[in-house]
Structure 1
């Protein structure tokens, strides 16, 4: 009996420690539980989608693009033997900027040329014999066939060697280099990307009511916040004859003096068109756009809930911007508090 007492005391003590540890763990777990904020209303400010009358000049946001850009590929596979370019290198149209190892093909070409030279002599000799009735037509035909086949082999090897050259199809600057000397290169794999920045272009979507006022060759004004005091002249180079589902038409603008300002592709610009058209358009504040003009979208408020809507933008109206599709007049867009929103959020509209 006396031996059992210490054992019982130890068990009771161990049980008390275990219970305390379990209780502490429960308290910690409760503290670590995420707070459910789904029922907490997010305060937001809203603005009404309005229709306004406009006329004369209008501007559209755009992004500069290279006039031309290409991936330089190769038409055959092999080990890269030499490269004559680096990132930032200026290359010319038709310039050979690298090649794969073609030593074996070059040796085969020399052998094929020697063979073709010999067979040509054989053909000429048999032709002379045939003209003197000392050779048959079959012998002449066979000699001609062998000679021409050897010539085809020579041309084929020359083309294979030429296909092993990396040739730039445009004038421009190398902006990516995807291969190094010694690497194996597969046919069709891009080795470099070249862009022509001597001229630039940009694409804008113009609404149906305005596009009929535009013509190819018409001058426009292109501005950038980086060079606000030095506008550039652009020329409409293409107007798509095919509109999208929202009756907007792609218009390409060519900018010839962008290189003088050392502008880079990807720069935001504004394209101003000067036409004598009147009408109304939908507009919203620019601050309603949650990701700016690059991926335009806005939250639309209805009661205590919100819906995220993708937008197609039109004219730049200073602090406001035209909406070509995605919204209706009278709808409310969130202009403050968007950072805390998801489509499942509850909102509280404040003034």
Structure 2
């Protein structure tokens, strides 16, 4: 009985040992196979690093306004007798826009002119009498004073009449009428807005550090939020003080807009072009990968693995220091040298040391790919 039990135990140990040994053998075999298995090369496109001309830009948010724009107001109170414009009419300087009832002033003017005629006749007669010596000097003085007073009364009434006729102060596009014919309006009532949209300006603000790089006559480019407007202009004004509340410096740019693409009050993206710099390394933003460890790029390098006969292409992850940005390109301050080939597509499939093949048909940077 004991002998049979011992034989069973020995047999069980032999079987278990065989199974364990077989599994260890298979595991080691698989490790050897995978260790010697060469990973397939990953196709990538590359951009060759080159020193180029860098045109830095300062970006800001601006608001469009007409170089000449104002809200037109009534100068004198009265009844609106006539409105001589419609919304969005193009008007010329001096064109009559609104007529306020002026019948009372015209009647006063007729009376004042009659009084002036009488004063002029009286003065003429007084001069003749004085020349013949039959009139006192005081009589002539009184006639001259009366004539001057009558003339001043006429001028005063004519000035009052001019406030009843509202004219355009400059050429431009007039807005929606804010008054109605027959309505009584008080002095100062706004009746429309007038904007000269052929000559526009854009106001924007920069930080103190940015403002130090800007000076008058620098070029600016403008784009609307919908990107349906693209215009250029020049800086014509820089506020000589910093706003103590926002700590910003206000800038003004003049923008020719003969076609009327801009609308006063419109929101705009502003870019100020700074002087160009030579020998700067810049890459597309899509080339650079950001992570918790920093910004990096994959650089393709030719290496000869141990035991290999032919060199092959591999990628190495290189950390870089990013500088300024302009459009879709980033300045690379450290980490790369002229002539390096950086991967510009397919980075998400790469690990440092992976073999690759170059296929620039995948490129996200057509200009760089064409150069390769």
- Normalised to the residue count of structure 2, the TM-score between the two structures is 0.57
Aligned residue number for residue 169 of structure 2: 169
- Whether 2:177 is the aligned partner of 1:181: answer no
- Whether 2:267 is the aligned partner of 1:268: answer yes
Would you say the 8 A contact 2:207–2:247 is kept in 1? yes
Partner Cα separation in structure 1 for residue 151 and residue 127 of structure 2 = 18
SS in 2 for 1:106: helix
Partner Cα separation in structure 2 for residue 277 and residue 59 of structure 1 = 16
Aligned residue number for residue 209 of structure 2: 209
Deviation, 1:107, is 2.0
SS in 2 for 1:176: coil
Q: Is the alpha carbon distance of 1:154 and 1:197 closer, same or farther for their aligned partners in structure 2, counting shifts above 3 Å?
A: same
Would you say the 8 A contact 1:79–1:184 is kept in 2? yes
Deviation, 1:265, is 2.9
Count the aligned residue pairs: 228
Aligned pairs for 1:270-349 (under 5 A) are: 270-275=269-274
Aligned residue number for residue 69 of structure 2: 69
Aligned pairs for 1:108-187 (under 5 A) are: 108-187=108-187
Would you say the 8 A contact 2:197–2:260 is kept in 1? no
Partner Cα separation in structure 1 for residue 157 and residue 121 of structure 2 = 21
Would you say the 8 A contact 2:175–2:193 is kept in 1? yes
Aligned residue number for residue 235 of structure 1: 234
1:151-179 deviation digits (Å, cap 9, x = unpaired): 11111111111111112222211223211
1:7-51 deviation digits (Å, cap 9, x = unpaired): xxxxxxxxxxxxxxxxxxxxxxxxxxxxxxxxxxxxxxxxxxxxx
Deviation, 1:130, is 0.9
Deviation, 1:132, is 1.3
Would you say the 8 A contact 1:235–1:255 is kept in 2? yes
SS in 2 for 1:253: strand
Would you say the 8 A contact 1:65–1:202 is kept in 2? yes
Q: Is the alpha carbon distance of 1:199 and 1:227 closer, same or farther for their aligned partners in structure 2, counting shifts above 3 Å?
A: farther
Partner Cα separation in structure 2 for residue 261 and residue 101 of structure 1 = 35
Partner Cα separation in structure 1 for residue 200 and residue 104 of structure 2 = 43
SS in 1 for 2:56: strand
Note the residue ranges of structure 2 that are not aligned, 5 or more in a row.
1-53, 278-323, 329-372
Deviation, 1:277, is 10
Aligned residue number for residue 33 of structure 2: none
SS in 2 for 1:158: helix
SS in 2 for 1:141: helix
Partner Cα separation in structure 2 for residue 131 and residue 69 of structure 1 = 59
Partner Cα separation in structure 2 for residue 273 and residue 226 of structure 1 = 20
Partner Cα separation in structure 1 for residue 141 and residue 92 of structure 2 = 47
Q: Is the alpha carbon distance of 1:254 and 1:244 closer, same or farther for their aligned partners in structure 2, counting shifts above 3 Å?
A: same
Would you say the 8 A contact 2:92–2:170 is kept in 1? yes
Partner Cα separation in structure 2 for residue 144 and residue 267 of structure 1 = 60
Would you say the 8 A contact 1:217–1:235 is kept in 2? yes
Note the residue ranges of structure 1 that are not aligned, 5 or more in a row.
1-53, 279-314, 320-351
Would you say the 8 A contact 1:72–1:167 is kept in 2? no
Partner Cα separation in structure 2 for residue 156 and residue 128 of structure 1 = 29
Q: Is the alpha carbon distance of 1:267 and 1:188 closer, same or farther for their aligned partners in structure 2, counting shifts above 3 Å?
A: closer
Would you say the 8 A contact 1:61–1:316 is kept in 2? no
Q: Is the alpha carbon distance of 1:159 and 1:214 closer, same or farther for their aligned partners in structure 2, counting shifts above 3 Å?
A: same
Q: Is the alpha carbon distance of 1:162 and 1:189 closer, same or farther for their aligned partners in structure 2, counting shifts above 3 Å?
A: same
- Normalised to the residue count of structure 1, the TM-score between the two structures is 0.60
Q: Is the alpha carbon distance of 1:73 and 1:266 closer, same or farther for their aligned partners in structure 2, counting shifts above 3 Å?
A: closer
Q: Is the alpha carbon distance of 1:106 and 1:261 closer, same or farther for their aligned partners in structure 2, counting shifts above 3 Å?
A: closer
